[in-house]
Structure 1
Amino acid sequence: MIAEALDTMWTLGWALTAWIAVFAAVGTIVIFATIAAGAWATRALWRATAGPSWRRSRLRARILARTRTRRASEPAEPNDYREAA
């Protein structure tokens, strides 16, 4: 009777160990797949927004061009081509 209980406990222990190993392997695969999908989506979004303003939209390009280029308030001085001493 005790031998059967020990045998059952031994068998259940190995079964539990096997299930833990299977769940760990599946969990690792799921985690890595999620990380890879997230990295791929992040890279796709980054590439979609990166680049020149004219590539995003015409309106956005006009807005960026107006805000980034300013007219000079004073006339520019003529270039002086004297050699630096």
Structure 2
Amino acid sequence: MIAEAIDTLITLGWAFLGWLIVFAITGTISIFAALATGAWAYSTLRRTIVAPAWARSRRAARRYARREPDYEEAA
């Protein structure tokens, strides 16, 4: 009878350890996903609000910087 109780305790211990590992992995993935989403949202918000209109993207900044001025139109 004591042997069965010890066997049950060991089985419950392994089950608890398994669930603990599953919850730890799930929690870690959730935390990393939240951090990645927060970093993406922060960079998007910073780029949208703080940056000037011409620096919203690298491609646009290069395009605006390389454009020849049109002096005929200004005159």
Task: Classify the TM-score, shorter chain.
Answer: 0.5 to 0.7
Root mean square deviation, CA, Å: 1.9
Q: Give TM-score, length-normalised by structure 2.
A: 0.67
Q: Give TM-score, length-normalised by structure 1.
A: 0.59
Moved over 4 A (4+): none
- Of Structure 1 and Structure 2, the greater helix share is in 2
Structure 1 unmatched runs, 5+: 56-85
- Which deviations, in whole Å up to 9, do the C-alpha atoms of 1:19-62 show, x marking residues without a partner? 1000000000000000000000000001101333689xxxxxxx
Structure 2 unmatched runs, 5+: 56-75
Identity %: 56
Task: Name the larger-Rg structure.
Answer: 1
- The number of residues matched between the two structures is 55
Higher relative contact order structure (alpha carbons within 8 Å, sequence separation ≥ 6) = 2
